[in-house]
Amino acid sequence: MLSEHRCFEGIQGFYRHDSQVIGLPMRFSVFRPPQAEQRPVPVLFYLAGLTCTEETFAIKAGAQRRAAELGLMLVTCDTSPRATGIPGEADDWEFGAGAGFYVNATQAPWSRNFRMYDYVLDELRATVLNNFAARPDRVGIFGHSMGGHGALVLALRNPQVYRSVSAFAPICSPTRCAWGQKALPRYLGEDRSAWEQYDAVELIKAGGRQVYPEILVDQGLADKFLHQSQLLPELLESACKSASQPLRLRRHEGYDHGYYFIATFVADHLLFHAKALEATA
């Protein structure tokens, strides 16, 4: 335990553990709502975007008040391994430290530590379930930008684990945008079929069916990365339509890519997940 803070009658905590998957210490945060003092509660994992850490959402999103009202546990993690010793790991904000893209790297030297997909899916989830009053049958996931990509991919590939999914301004198709085309070959090699396993649009197209009752996505229309074709929500919309996967894609005039946008709509996402998780049999 690094620190714990009373927050809306719950506890906002920051923690470090030795990760067997990553092979290095990893940091994460947990907001325990007041209901967790009496019983296990639904748990919602949040994946942050490029350059962020386990602290970013907890500090900037203002989500704890609504999570306390709804009885939701909130978990965040770092966006990559840190201090791996790989030369140049922190030279580029779009790749390496702070930019793990939630994939299991297969290419040296990144494959030694950059296994964020398995870390989030298995080790972080098990760590939370084993140490906090979280319900293993009531788990949701959401995220922002690179983390929105990660949340969509993890949910689409593991619907038996994650019962609800949403995203803020996600990278919907990293195989088709500059961010993904920089990172994926360096993490995964040149085989594009390996990239497609981490592309929400490709996963929905390949599945060709409804996976979730609904997916919620919010996108700001003043988002510079939208206009740079990094996010491509229209491709997600088209893929969901073809697969009969219900998607609530909300476009918001005047909102950019940052945490003022997230703070504005985070309560809607928490309510969306709370309803879905409580409705789960």
pLDDT tens-digit series, residues 46-55: 999 999 999 9
pLDDT tens, 180-225? 999 999 999 999 999 999 999 999 999 999 999 999 999 999 999 9
Give bridge partners of residue 15 from the DSSP assignment: 28
Residue 101: which residues within 8 A CB-CB, separation 6 or more? 116, 146, 149, 150, 174, 180, 183, 184, 187, 198
Q: Which of 173, 223, 269, 273 is catalytic?
A: 223
Residue 145 bears catalytic tag: yes
Residue 223 bears catalytic tag: yes
State the Cα–Cα distance between residues 202 and 184, nearest whole angstrom.
14
pLDDT value of residue 281: 41
With both helix axes pointing from N to C terminus, report the angle between 200-207 and 146-157 in degrees, rounded to the nearest 10. 20
pLDDT value of residue 279: 63
pTM summary value: 0.98
Q: Which of 145, 164, 166, 173 is catalytic?
A: 145
Q: Which of 29, 173, 199, 257 is catalytic?
A: 257
**pLDDT over threshold 70, residue 280:** no
Q: What one-letter code names the amino acid at 113?
A: N
Contact 213, 247 (CB under 8 A): no
Residue 17 bears catalytic tag: no
Mean pLDDT of the 33-57 span:
98
